[in-house]
Amino acid sequence: MATLYIVPTPIGNLEDITLRALRVLREVALIAAEDTRTTRILLQHYSITTPLTSYHEHNKLIKLDRLFETLQTADVALVSDAGTPGISDPGYELILAAIERGIRVEPLPGASAIIPALVGSGLPTDGFVYLGFLPRKDKSLRQFLGTLQQERRTLLAYESPNRLTDTLAVLAEVFGDRQICVARELSKKFETFQRGRLTEVLAHYQAEPPRGEIVLVIAGAPPVEPVEWDEAQVIAALQERLDQGESLSSAARSIAAESGWDRRRVYALANK
Ligand code: SAM
């Protein structure tokens, strides 16, 4: 059975393509490319002459039949302009349709802007949430970020340079002055990591408007410090539960869980 290969391509530096990706691009019968002109430059660089067909945002549904016709007998590789297909790039519908038709899908590991931005940011890497491109309209952006206020994991988003300062200002308003890293022009000549508090990084880019491609890496929500109740709050809660007929041991257990007090301390207060 034929295979659909998902092939990552460089995000800036042409050397960032694996030996396996080059072999697959050479061996498949057809390469489905987001923009055939962009991919042709890459193929020419590596002297690859495999036929190309377009597969982009506007023809991705009508192209499915043609690609599956080829896949009946021969392997196809899917590439996007840069990075990993399907990651904020066309690919998802084709991959899903291939899986549904029982076609073998082989994704190759390779370049994507997310991982170098995350690991170079200095922010926690043990858990992260990839958000894709952020909403463009101010109101939608605020609503979207509002749903993420309590998210503890590191947040990653793609952003365009002309919206960067507006987005940083909204991020500071909604999230408070958290740490952020703006990872710019990864793997290219002017690669930079601008790290700091949101207001500091905002001031930097207000003074020096950014250019190029950008990934935002935003610190997750800080842990919420449990606030211990004072004695009056514990007494009031005890009184309320005992008045409702709850036993002292049950009331002390519940209050200990809510108040940050040790259960024995709650008991001792009840028996004062
Ligand atoms: N499929 C790609 C991937 O795997 O990363 C993403 C494609 S998306 C259409 C393009 C966005 O990715 C850019 O607007 C930018 O936010 C980010 N990006 C791509 N290349 C980058 C680079 N070299 N440096 C920083 N960000 C980059």
Name the 3-class secondary structure at 215: strand
Average pLDDT for 88-93: 95
The Å distance, Cα 15 to ligand 1 centre, comes to 16
- On whether the CB atoms of residues 59 and 82 are closer than 8 A, the answer is no
Instruction: Using the atom order of ligand 1, give the atom closest to the CA of residue 111.
Output: 4
> pLDDT tens across 177-201, in order?
999 999 999 999 999 999 999 999 9
% the chain with pLDDT above 90: 81
The Å distance, Cα 185 to ligand 1 centre, comes to 9
Taking each helix axis from N to C terminus, what angle separates 248-259 and 231-243, rounded to the nearest 10 degrees?
A: 140
- On whether the CB atoms of residues 183 and 215 are closer than 8 A, the answer is yes
Q: Which two tokens stand for residue 204?
A: 């930097």
Q: Which two tokens stand for residue 69?
A: 């016709």
pLDDT for res 260: 86
Sign (positive or negative) of CA dihedral 44, 45, 47, 52: negative
Q: Decide whether any atom of ligand 1 lies within 6 Å of the 83 Cβ.
A: yes
Q: Decide whether any atom of ligand 1 lies within 6 Å of the 113 Cβ.
A: yes
pTM score, whole prediction: 0.86
The Å distance, Cα 114 to ligand 1 centre, comes to 8
pLDDT for res 55: 94
Average pLDDT for 1-17: 96
pLDDT for res 271: 82
Of how many residues is the chain composed? 272
The Å distance, Cα 129 to ligand 1 centre, comes to 16
Q: Decide whether any atom of ligand 1 lies within 6 Å of the 237 Cβ.
A: no
pLDDT for res 207: 97
The Å distance, Cα 130 to ligand 1 centre, comes to 12
Q: Decide whether any atom of ligand 1 lies within 6 Å of the 158 Cβ.
A: yes
Instruction: Using the atom order of ligand 1, give the atom closest to the CA of residue 184.
Output: 25
Domain ranges in the chain?
Answer: 3-107, 114-218, 231-270
Name every residue whose Cβ is closer than 8 Å to that of residue 40 and which is 6 or more positions away in sequence.
52
**Which residue has the CA at smallest separation from atom 2 of ligand 1?**
83
The superfamily in CATH containing domain 3-107 is Tetrapyrrole methylase, N-terminal domain (3.40.1010.10)
Instruction: Using the atom order of ligand 1, give the atom closest to the CA of residue 86.
Output: 1
The Å distance, Cα 264 to ligand 1 centre, comes to 56
Alpha helices in the chain (DSSP H): 19-27, 36-45, 63-71, 92-100, 114-121, 138-146, 164-175, 198-207, 231-243, 248-259, 263-270
Residue type, 260: G
The Å distance, Cα 46 to ligand 1 centre, comes to 22
Q: Which two tokens stand for residue 270?
A: 């009840």
If one looks up domain 114-218 in CATH, what number appears?
A: 3.30.950.10
Average pLDDT for 79-94: 96
Taking each helix axis from N to C terminus, what angle separates 248-259 and 263-270, rounded to the nearest 10 degrees?
A: 130
> pLDDT tens across 16-50, in order?
999 999 999 999 999 999 999 999 999 999 999 99
> pLDDT tens across 245-264, in order?
989 988 888 888 888 888 88
H-run or E-run covering 137: none
**Which residue has the CA at smallest separation from atom 19 of ligand 1?**
113
